[in-house]
A and B are shown apart, each in its own frame.
Chain A
């Protein structure tokens, strides 16, 4: 079986829907949107605390309501939405292996857009020591328990992480009658320093940063967590769960398993200024590019990449080989990390998005063919968005490099 479309969008979160709608708005006739869940919305479906939609729809939606608005937009725009469709493989030449309640089918399109979003890093990939009992989960899982099933996975969790989502996780706990025992951060500082000055006190949950998680104990369910504090003291907390918050990572398995692979920095697909990957038929947008931005950001990014795909479809020349943007630690990632000289007339990305892997103070500079064209000096926090204007000259440079000189 083969279904042909002009564009197949994989992932029905804000980025995917925005792109699909934008493609239709640009007159692309056959736009198919695949999502593996029973409803559109992606991660916004379970996020009970964050409001969505203010900038894109001019009003605020919470949780599944935003997904329903996305579904309505897609339907109105004439997007062929297929829910419960899981893309199993991304193959060369714009082909997808898809499974749905009907079984397996091959699908082909002139362009593919990967918009599969991001998720939190689980306990296993964090290599945390200890037993492996029931009750060690991530914020997204907790929110799914609450939002979809009215269940709770624990009553007294230890919360690990100090990102914005960590605050949301603690609020979810409190609203649903779970009492976090403590909040722990392995970095020597809170990742959202301002909020962590008042938030732990406000909710009455102690916060320790610079800790090392030593052990999770529990034969069946979590019973206690031991950690070494920054002052060297070892503390053991009785608890019935561990809530891992943040540590987002792109859900880029399709790319990683394909010949395209992923970018070493972002762990998402490497794309150029139009959202185009190493394969000029495959595009990517939204949080799969870099973990993680807000739903609104992903929506706008999806819309821009959708427009870029529409323009790309009307071109009759090939965009050529890309130039890779280079950088070194502590810069963690740069998006876009590819630049094509013969890209679209209107690029989807007007800025480079950078992130640092740790807190660092120093001078960040952009060099084109060895010549500095932009610089700033300040301190940078991990997991924070840094925007650097993407100069048109970068598209014709042979070497594009971010340099960072650290001041100690």
Chain B
């Protein structure tokens, strides 16, 4: 076994959560804090193996969410809880604010309505700005800017450390994290009997947070799915840290019906992100990047912020959003079978996750099971990866730097490997430490990482000797 995961307990868990995306991790934390015995069942070799690994890392206010929607309510609740717990969990908040930018008269005509909707949604920190006023807050914006709505509450967070912290808290409270455990099927006979590729699991209740596989998991649980996942691919380009000074704020386009559109924003790690695209596809697994699309994103970024032209590319990635045939979240509770489905969380999952977890807890209370006994919030120690706060390399006696581009220390990598939720694959190590994520993408450190991670990753960086 690569992972030190406890084997499935013959005991009965209070709740089995299917999927260790950001929503599953937040639900695991919430139930563990309430005193439930939790098991998280994850198909991939690490958390965030699906939709949650690729997003724009924005902590939304909900200013543009459908008025009166559950999504709006949960984005606001999730955001409020994030802001309340982030100090305790050591999670960053980069207070950038956002500008919804109109690049022509047609788009400018829509700004009034965007601001009005935002105010209706209870977001007060909104201002209509002329192009010049908006550029005064971000001089790098193209002079073609006509007007903008400033939403000062939209911020940037670390999209990987947050869910890791949620899951680490759950694990600290005894939750079991099962990896490479694909749900095969489930039967409810007074309790849930779940067959997974890593063994059988018994649980009193089940929460489906399977993201891109939400409808499939509902079917495997014996339900007729109430929705169909229609994966929507988003490609992103990450620019070199030299770009950061030109992009101090989140630059949003005027959205269309289909998508929020291409965003240009800083990252918590000191880079600049351009993306996502919105491409419908049937495949739920493959999220490819495509040369022409990446070139188009770069060109779009340089139109919005001219100084980005020619800026070197640090990384490219693509992710799939678990969109469904409706824009709304697809949340269902089946009290008779003690099952909750959190489906169709297409693009606000990072912001709403903690709110979704609260909501799942509320739905669970409707199952009329004996009450749990809430426990104190455990302290966990994750390294800070955000550039806005002190990083390990800035401390005396940090030892040695392994990844020079991202200034990742050896002890940070060793700590991640020895942690309660160690990385299951190279992507997981990168998300936990940033090692190999910089401009050279491992030219200098990949071999060292191969050595340090021997026997630890499901897909090792170095191949084994072939038998003669």
Residues of B within 8 A of A119 (CB): 440, 443-444
Q: Which residues in window 394-439 of B have CB below 8 A to A? A: 394-401, 404-405, 407, 425-426, 439
Q: How far is the CB of A140 from chain B (nearest CB, A)?
A: 5
Q: A119-B444, A137-B442 are in contact. Are A102 and B396 (CB under 8 A)?
A: yes
* Given A154-B463, A177-B466, A253-B241: A99 and B291 interface contact (C-beta under 8 Å): no
A131 within 8 A of B: yes
Q: A103-B395, A120-B443, A145-B450 are in contact. Are A152 and B313 (CB under 8 A)?
A: no
Q: Which residue of B lies closest to A178 (CB)?
A: B463
B243 to chain A, nearest CB (A): 10
A residues in contact with B287, CB < 8 Å = 131
* The stretch of B115-123, B314-322, B365-373 that contacts the partner chain: B314-322
From A215-223, A277-285, A289-297, A305-313, the one touching the partner chain is A215-223
Interface residue stretch chosen among A48-56, A74-82, A122-130, A399-407: A122-130
The A contact surface, by secondary structure, is mixed
Closest chain-B Cβ to A363's Cβ sits at a distance in Å of: 28
Any A CB within 8 A of the CB of B83: no
Asked whether B5 is an interface residue with its Cβ less than 8 Å from the other chain, the reply is no
B286-309 CB mask vs A (1 if < 8 Å, else 0) is 111111001100000000000000
Report Cα–Cα, A257/B272, bound state, in Å. Answer: 13
Q: Given that A36-B404, A124-B314, A145-B462 are known contacts, is A103 also in contact with B443, CB under 8 Å in the complex?
A: no
Pairwise interchain contact B450-A124, C-beta atoms closer than 8 A? no
In the complex, the answer to whether B450 meets A264 with C-beta atoms within 8 Å is: no
- Are A101 and B407 in contact, with the CB atoms below 8 A? no
In the complex the two chains form, is B442's CB within 8 Å of A122's CB?
Answer: yes
What residue in chain A is nearest B238 (Cβ atoms)?
A: A124
CA distance A137 to B466 in the complex (A): 20
Q: How far is the CA of A220 from the CA of B407 in the complex (A)?
A: 26
Determine whether the beta carbon of B462 is less than 8 Å from that of A132: no
Please give, as numbers and ranges, the residues of chain A lying within 8 Å of B397 by CB-CB distance.
101-103
Contacts known (A124-B313, A129-B289, A132-B317); A144 close to B448, Cβ less than 8 A: yes
Q: Given that A127-B316, A151-B462 are known contacts, is A253 also in contact with B242, CB under 8 Å in the complex? A: yes
Q: Does B378 contact A (CB under 8 A)?
A: no
Give the distance to chain A from B319, nearest Cβ to Cβ, in Å. 11
Q: Is the CB of B288 within 8 A of A129?
A: yes
Render B437-468 as a binary contact track against A, CB cut-off 8 A, 1 for contact: 00111111011101100000011011100100
Q: 18 additional contacts, CB 8 Å, given A101-B398, A127-B316?
A: A86-B401, A101-B399, A103-B397, A103-B398, A124-B238, A124-B316, A125-B312, A125-B313, A127-B295, A130-B289, A134-B426, A134-B459, A137-B442, A138-B443, A140-B443, A151-B451, A253-B405, A267-B312
**Residues of A near any B CB (own CB < 8 A):** 36, 84, 86, 88, 99, 101-104, 119-120, 122-125, 127-134, 137-138, 140-141, 144-145, 148-149, 151-155, 177, 215, 219-221, 240, 249, 251, 253, 256-257, 264, 267
